[in-house]
A and B are shown apart, each in its own frame.
Chain A
Amino acid sequence: MAHDNSYVDKKFNVVGTRFNRPDGIDKVTGKARYGADASAPGQLVGKVLRSPHAHAQILKINTSKAEKLQGVKSIITFEDLPDLTGADQGMADILENCMARGRALYDGHAVAAVAAVDEQTAAKALKLIDVKYKKLPHVTDVDEAMLPTAPIIHDRIFTRGVEPKPTKPSNISSRTEMGNGDIEAGFAEADIIVEHSFKTEQTHQGYIEPHACLASVNPDGTAELWVTTQGHFVFRNVCAGLLGLDIAKLKVTSSEIGGGFGGKTHVWVEPVALALSRKANRPVKMVMSRDEVFRATGPTSSTSIDVKLGAKKNGRITAAIAELRYQGGAFPGNWAMLGCMTAFACYDIKNNKSIGWDVLVNRPKVTAYRAPSAPMAAFAVESAMDILAKELGMKAIDVRLKNVAREGTLAPYGPTYGPIGIEDTLKAVKAHPHMRAKLKPNQGRGVACGFWFNIGGQTSTDLNIGVDGTVNLAVGTVDVGGSRSSLAMIAAEELGIDYEDVKANIADTTSLGHNDMTEGSRGTFSSGMATIYAAREAIEVLKQRAAQTWGIPVEDVAWEAGHAVATGKGHGNLPKLSLREIAAKSGRTGGPIAGHNEVTADGAGMGFASHICDVEVDPETGRSTIVRYTVVQDAGKAINPDYVEGQFQGGATQGIGWALNEEYIYGDDGRLQNPGFLDYRIPVCSDLPFIDTKILEIPNPNHPYGVRGVGETSIVPPLAAVANAIANATGVRMGHAPMSPPRVLAALDALDAG
């Protein structure tokens, strides 16, 4: 059955109201089972030996002493994970990141792993493994890594995207360029030109639950993996590929997830656990320590960015150029490319250009972090917008409105926008009482905008109706932010029944078709679409059963408010049949009633937001306190407003943490100095005011309910919103994030010194 994804404006009964999440009780009572909460008979404990060096050749790994330790059941090195990746360099990188192959590429890179009967034995065994290293020169800074004198991390990498083709290997894995118009002509037209350089430090997603899994591989090639993940189907495919297993024989079950924000889109210890289990022929459980999470799982890039804007006196921007350098850790990524795509996406600028440099350094392999790469680009561009506004003598918000992207604007990265919400968010900000609230001494207010694409992708959903009329919804996108509630609401809306009559579950990989990850803010968009279609399929079955019961053609049956209604001429006196009544008779009318859907959800709606931030800066210590914060974002349609607001608040909080204090600190030895929550300073509750939110709903034309993604955009504006607020409070322009007290104090001193 073909389904139409067009938006239809209609009145909702369930969608748009607020319900508690179905996983709530389990979570607040501690019953919820996370990655570390599974166990199996005979299970072993797995632990990883990690490189203490930023860059080193591994001359020899001697495991013989550890093997002799009582209780040790298997020890693996790269030799136990043979390279089956063929020509797929991306998979080869994942494999090498899971276990070093001849060279340790960063502090924390896995070198060997042990499975033993208990934790103490495993820890003891790690100490007995003797690794001979030869230290190599290292580089951890993105700008230094680009210098011709920098130590080369992979001599197989030659910069892509430059002409002529380079003959020497480089840490620059690729150069990207994109944009529209004639940049030189644009600057020639400008009355005013502003230029500034920015740096952002590396941050981690900081989810509270560390990576954890329980793996079990049998000699016949069947295997199971229980794991905390944002996408168990993708983990299945990747792990099967790396270990040479058949996809259908590896069953992956996703546990409850204690945060991911992109960090759980990637495998880290899971292939290692499977390899340990295969060798020991016993189940192996692995739980990373916080130290390991920081040192060896995907943080986001540190960056260095230059921005130049040219404008007419009336505020119209004639040209914009950005050069963005992003490090992806010890493996190539496309992070700078994403930075290029998002940098100017909020604006309608005739002549624009973005040049991206993807760079390798001796740091952990970067992975997605909530709207990956966009916050850094926005920090630079949105700060530059304020610098421009100041030069023009215009209000920062008016310069933005003057140049705002609208439906029909050609986006810098190619497409022409459909209906988008950036102008509405700016207007809502302008009208918000927050903008008129009085500021106290040493306080300043900043505004910034943000963009994220949002994505769709492959989804598969099953809906089964029980004989009592209650409904099981099986979905394959992991519930990270409350999507089970939203999807159950959507099913209830379509079927015309109560929310309480639908139970949504995350199915394992053997029970559904492939589902892409919960990433790119796609969960509710794509699974919501598949749920609508699955429910509509089920309604067709329900109508058939009613027609059969009544003995009339199915064309004469309609579905209204949870009931089959006879509509054709002459059937007027048939009493309507409820879903519950039809379900009760299903055993006699043709068996179980179900609907299912497999779809590649196209047409994700872009997400735009504008934030307002008030900050107070202590002029004597440089310490900044956020005193008020407001998020305005276009959700398309807020299925469950509670969780939409939660996403807005969470993203803003993470962005504020990044803006103020969060950063990876590396020593001269290339080792990470703060792999723990004490010195990697995520904001605590008392650091933040209540984050106020305002949901706008500009429907996405490519979703039946108008849904856009809402999970990521909210982390994009805060870095610049805070920087702009600090600039307005103190007169100093902070070009280096996080804007920690020592950095702000140094900038204040420099200002005083003139």
Chain B
Amino acid sequence: MRYETPASAKEAAGLLKKEKGAAFLLAGGTDLLVKLKMGIVEPDLVVDIKRIPKISDIQSSAKGFTIGAAVSGAELGEHAGLKKAWPGVVEAANLIGSDQIQGRATLPGNLCNASPAADSVPALIAAGAKAVVVGPLKKRTVPVEKVMIGPGKTSLAKGELIEAITLPKAEPRSGDAYLRFTPRTEMDIAVVGIAISLKLERGVIKKARVVLGAVAPTAIVVAAAARAIVGSKLDDKALDKLAAACSAACNPIDDKRGTIEYRVRVAGVLAKRAAKIAFQRAGGSL
């Protein structure tokens, strides 16, 4: 196994592209190293991105935020501006693992590990985040929901990697929230995850995005759930419709972490709770 520390994203892409054997990008390593130790992956090449200049920076501008691919969960949690603009994204990222994991885990790592239960992914999608994808030859920007295409699978081509995640500027009177259900308080994998981002106009929901995690092969954008609350002040009727739409959108599996029935049910319960938090964060009063 070879280990490389390229000086640019483009160089990293070139190394990945050239490798004939199994090549893996290494960010925080909290997924990759676990799989390596368990013998699930046997890389010929590991490309560590952490030495790339600026890859660990969070930049804010008039357009929003650009979060480098090696920024850890802990660093996200310490960024006051980001927390104020996208509290749901930050709380989702900060739910990953434990203090130790937080010191390492990254957003692109969470996304490219491509687990249906990844915590930050629904929140990123709800927030309208984009991935800046660098290949050996060209760079492209894709919405986060286009990256994961199935359990363990991404749409990235061989040699492509994510250099940064961008978040738009948060609109006035908008708010987002992420909630997950786990039997334990931490060190657990989401049985259901839900992210809601919404914008108010005169106390009424004008726009919304509702995204479910852990209840289908990938995170899913539930348009019907967003429709259920748009135009409402999040009254009980709207909340019930939201819950029903979320439950209806679930396509989960029965496994050791939760039954189909349970996941479907709890998706609706959490949807209501997350909507209320996002609503209040947007300045709405219940």
Contact = CB atoms under 8 A, between A and B. Distances in A.
B187 interface: yes
A665 B255 CA distance: 10
Contact of B256 (A123, A623, A665, A745): A665
A687 B261 CA distance: 25
A684 B184 CA distance: 7
A534 to B, nearest CB: 45
B257 interface: yes
Given A620-B269, A621-B266, A679 B184 contact: no
A10 B183 CA distance: 50
Given A123-B39, A741-B262, A742-B262, A686 B256 contact: no
A690 to B, nearest CB: 15
A585 interface: no
* A interface residue count range (under 10 / 10 to 19 / 20 to 34 / 35 or more): 20 to 34
B59 to A, nearest CB: 33
Interface in B156-209: 181, 183-189
A745 B265 contact: yes
A740 B191 CA distance: 13
Nearest to A619: B269
A742 B259 contact: yes
Contacts of B265: 745
A281 interface: no
Contact of A684 (B181, B185, B258, B269): B185
Contacts of A686: 185-186
Interface string B46-83: 00000000000000000000000000000000000000
A376 to B, nearest CB: 21
Nearest to B181: A621
A620 B188 CA distance: 20
A740 B183 contact: yes
A507 interface: no
Contacts of B185: 684, 686-687
A661 interface: yes
Interface residues of B, number: 19
A19 to B, nearest CB: 31
Interface string A731-754: 000000000111001000000000
A742 B256 contact: no
A82 B256 CA distance: 39
Nearest to A625: B185
A681 B184 contact: yes
Per DSSP, chain B at the interface is: loop
A116 to B, nearest CB: 16
B254 to A, nearest CB: 11
Interface string B242-286: 000000000000011111011001100100000000000000000
Contacts of B184: 661, 681, 683-684, 687
A665 B187 CA distance: 19
Contacts, number: 45
Contacts of B259: 742
Contacts of A741: 181, 183, 262
B256 A674 contact: yes
A574 interface: no
A742 B39 contact: no
A20 interface: no
A678 B262 CA distance: 19
A660 interface: yes
Interface string A348-383: 000000000000000000000000000000000000
B100 to A, nearest CB: 12
Contacts of A674: 256
B269 A621 contact: yes
Nearest to A660: B183
Contacts of B261: 742
**Which of A620, A665, A686 has the most chain B CB atoms inside 10 A of its CB?**
A620
Interface string A677-702: 11101011011000000000000000
Contacts of B255: 673
Contacts of A665: 256
Nearest to A291: B38
B188 A742 contact: no
B187 A678 contact: yes
Interface in A635-687: 660-661, 665, 673-674, 677-679, 681, 683-684, 686-687
Contacts of A681: 183-184, 188
A292 to B, nearest CB: 12
**Which of B184, B189, B261 has the most chain A CB atoms inside 10 A of its CB?**
B184
Nearest to A686: B185
**Which of B183, B188, B257, B258 has the most chain A CB atoms inside 10 A of its CB?**
B183
A742 B269 contact: no
Contacts of B269: 620-621
B266 A684 contact: no
Given A621-B269, A742-B258, A678 B189 contact: yes
A661 B255 CA distance: 15
5 residue pairs, one from A and one from B, having the closest CB atoms: A686-B185, A742-B262, A620-B269, A673-B256, A665-B256
Given A687-B184, A741-B262, 5 more contacts: A678-B188, A681-B184, A681-B188, A686-B185, A742-B258
Interface of B: 39, 181, 183-189, 255-259, 261-262, 265-266, 269
28 contacts: A620-B266, A620-B269, A621-B181, A621-B266, A623-B181, A623-B183, A661-B183, A661-B184, A674-B256, A677-B187, A678-B187, A678-B188, A678-B189, A679-B257, A681-B184, A681-B188, A684-B184, A684-B185, A684-B187, A686-B185, A687-B185, A740-B183, A741-B181, A741-B183, A742-B259, A742-B262, A745-B262, A745-B265
